[in-house]
């Protein structure tokens, strides 16, 4: 059983973690593939140091089934994810915005100078051609590239 001083300490530590965490928004055009995968991977690797969201400048209205499948293979469930518009996120709450496609970078709203902006261009797996195996392999490659980039960025911060 916890006594009151333990609970106060726990509340204080929880508040400190929230205060120390940063908020990142990953932007893409449709928020159906790359930004969805990046959001989930950042959540996995960033832990409680980051609050993470993803959005699109022109949301597709769905998460691509092959993005869901590729992430499922990595142990991440995107089946309940939804495509979101960037207007759902208040610029005042952001510390970092990462664009993962050229169109999102070009059509990105102007954010305050206090928000760090990064551009990490990845091929669009929704454009994959070929048979089903070739398409899922494209999604896997992009997933793995996003994963490596996020890990590298987070490792450089520690």
Q: Could you give the residue numbers annotated as active site?
A: 28, 101, 108
Which residues neighbour 100 within 8 Å (Cβ) at sequence distance 6 or greater? 26, 27, 28, 34, 35, 38, 120, 121, 122, 146
Dump the DSSP string for 96-155. EEEE-SHHHHHTPPP--TTSEEEE-----GGG--SSHHHHHHHHHHHHHHHHHHHHHHHH
Instruction: Check if the beta carbon of residue 116 is closer than 8 Å to that of residue 95.
Output: yes
Angle at alpha carbon of residue 40, lines to 44 and 139, rounded to 5°: 120
Rounded CA-CA distance 116/153 in Å is 13
């Amino acid at each position: 059983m916890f006594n009151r001083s333990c609970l106060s300490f726990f509340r204080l530590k929880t508040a400190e973690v929230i205060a120390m965490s940063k908020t990142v928004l990953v932007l893409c055009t449709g928020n159906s593939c790359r930004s969805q995968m990046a959001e989930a991977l950042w959540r996995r690797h960033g832990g409680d140091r980051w609050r993470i969201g993803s959005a699109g400048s022109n949301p597709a209205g769905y998460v691509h089934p092959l993005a869901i499948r590729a992430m499922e293979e990595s142990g991440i469930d995107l089946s309940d994810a939804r495509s979101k518009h960037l207007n759902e996120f208040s610029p005042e709450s952001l510390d970092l915005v990462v664009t993962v496609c050229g169109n999102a970078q070009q059509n990105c709203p102007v954010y305050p100078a206090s928000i760090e902006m990064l551009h990490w261009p990845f091929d669009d797996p929704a454009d994959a051609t070929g048979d089903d195996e070739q398409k899922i392999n494209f999604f896997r490659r992009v997933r793995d590239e996003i994963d490596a980039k996020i890990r590298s960025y987070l490792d450089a911060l520690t």
